[in-house]
Structure 1
Amino acid sequence: MKKLIVLVLAACSFAAAAAGEVQVAVAANFTVPAQRIAAAFERETGHKAVLAFGSTGRFYAQVKNGAPFDVLLAADDETPAKLEKEGLTVPGSRFTYANGRLVLWSATPGLVDTQGAILRKPGDGKIAIADPRLAPYGAAAVETMARLGLADQLKPRLVQAENIGQAYQFASTGNAPLGFVALSQVMVDGKLEKGSAWVVPENLHARIRQDAVLLAKGKDNAAAAAWLAYLKGDAARAVIRAYGYEL
């Protein structure tokens, strides 16, 4: 009996030793899906994903300055490619984990029509957008307004947030009646969670292709490799689709 207990304890100790930790920089639009995926990842692999959320532009600067991230889940494909060219990633590790969709959203039901015509109506209500210099969804919002010929008309109404998470916060609290946010922030299991929204047609802005990449710091981290492999699997992909992303 004692021998059996010793063997069980040894097995548990080995499993604990084998489990690792991965530091993941996550674009703010992917916050909730990443949290769900991380919980399942830990249950199934024993590895723990420690998530940090923010704008892709700020993460780029932090990685350049030596931030201790193993993996970057960006809101675009340009930033991971740039880091790759600068020798700050593991070559060949970059891939697209999701294609994002931009929406004009309001916490008020019925305020936003399905064609986005509210943008052309006179008014002075504020419109929240993420900083287009740092956040790809903010850049897509600016491009959308320009394509619609409304850039000058709407410019005085814009409230700029640091990232897409803060833009959603402005709109959800009513500080801005409207907000250009990520579809993933307002959709749960394929349905609009609350409020009203216009899903912006993709021909109004550049495609929001979101790439993941293994950073140089994570080269020898087994948990980092396991996280990226899990992100490509069926379970993670089902979660990603549930929040309105395309694969």
Structure 2
Amino acid sequence: MRCRNFVALVAGFAVCVGQAAMAEEVQVAVAANFTAPMQAIASDFEKTTGHKLVTAFGATGQFYAQIKNGAPFEVLLAADDSTPAKLEQEGEAVAGSRFTYAVGTLALWSAKDGYVDAKGEVLKRNAFKHLAIANPKTAPYGLAATQVLAKLGLTQALGGKLVEGQNITQTHQFVSSGNAELGFVALSQIYKGGQISSGSAWIVPASLHEPIRQDAVILNKGKDNPAARALLDYLKGPKAAEVIMSYGYEL
């Protein structure tokens, strides 16, 4: 019996050593709007696979420039589908690895309770000083915000009141700090447990802007890293899907 237990112990130790030997680290560039979901996903991914995530959060357009200039990222989780496709076409990403991991939702939000009505009429009343949006040249949620204003015929009326954040995180900070009375943010930033977590918001109808399809892709620097492939496989699985949907995204 003692011999059998010893053999089992040695076998279990060998498995652990094997897992440790196979564990890898992966450098991931993550769209700022996906910060909270990614932080929630990371813990279980690391526990399940043994791999370690090293994440950077920011604007997709800025990540594109950094990747083109040799940044060490191995995986990109973008805020759009065009940037990963472009990187693939330019030979910077692994062909066939790209897929949509989430479809984002835009929201008009104020940190003040009752400030934003359920139909977004606050925009037409135009009684505020500042409206925050993310930089539309580098942040897809900022581009979507400009499309909404154009659809509503408010581009000219509100153009002088726009304040731009470098990314959607800074845009959220402008509103949460009170420097802007309201702003267009990602629903995931203000959504928790199936409801708006603070302040007041209008969930913008998808018909008012182009779909915010968010694609993931393995970059060339990650083509031989098993942790990069493991991450994309995990994002396609049920555990990640549950987290992603809990932050107001669609799949």
Q: Indicate whether the TM-score tops 0.5.
A: yes
Name the residue aligned to 1:218. Answer: 222
The answer as to 2:145 corresponding to 1:141 is: yes
Deviation of 1:8 after TM superposition, in Å, equals: 5.3
Deviation of 1:123 after TM superposition, in Å, equals: 2.2
Q: Distance in 1 between matches of 2:10 and 2:234?
A: 32
Name the residue aligned to 2:234. Answer: 230
- The answer (yes or no) to whether the contact 1:22–1:224 under 8 Å persists in 2 is yes
Q: Distance in 1 between matches of 2:215 and 2:12?
A: 41
Deviation of 1:124 after TM superposition, in Å, equals: 3.7
Instruction: Provide the aligned length of Structure 1 versus Structure 2.
Output: 247
Name the residue aligned to 2:52. Answer: 48
Q: Deviations over 1:111-142 (max 9, x none)?
A: 00000000011324211100000000000001
CA root-mean-square deviation:
1.4
Residue 121 of structure 2: which of 100, 117, 140 is its match? 117
Residue 185 of structure 1: which of 189, 201, 212 is its match? 189
- The answer (yes or no) to whether the contact 1:125–1:178 under 8 Å persists in 2 is no
Deviation of 1:28 after TM superposition, in Å, equals: 0.3
The answer as to 2:199 corresponding to 1:195 is: yes
SS in 2 for 1:241: helix
The answer as to 2:84 corresponding to 1:62 is: no
Residue 163 of structure 1: which of 159, 167, 172 is its match? 167
Q: Which runs of 5+ in 1 are unaligned?
A: none
Name the residue aligned to 1:86. Answer: 90
Q: TM-score, normalised by structure 2?
A: 0.95
- The answer (yes or no) to whether the contact 2:126–2:158 under 8 Å persists in 1 is no
Q: Distance in 1 between matches of 2:11 and 2:142?
A: 55
Deviation of 1:184 after TM superposition, in Å, equals: 0.5
- The answer (yes or no) to whether the contact 1:141–1:180 under 8 Å persists in 2 is yes
- The answer (yes or no) to whether the contact 2:120–2:202 under 8 Å persists in 1 is yes
- The answer (yes or no) to whether the contact 2:92–2:220 under 8 Å persists in 1 is yes
Alignment-mate amino acid for residue 129 of structure 1:
I
Q: Distance in 1 between matches of 2:12 and 2:223?
A: 32
Q: Which runs of 5+ in 2 are unaligned?
A: none
Alignment-mate amino acid for residue 204 of structure 2:
V
Name the residue aligned to 2:75. Answer: 71
Alignment-mate amino acid for residue 195 of structure 1:
G
> What is the identity percentage for the equivalent residue pairs of Structure 1 and Structure 2?
60
Deviation of 1:168 after TM superposition, in Å, equals: 0.5
Deviation of 1:16 after TM superposition, in Å, equals: 1.5
Q: Distance in 1 between matches of 2:128 and 2:112?
A: 16
Residue 239 of structure 1: which of 223, 240, 243 is its match? 243
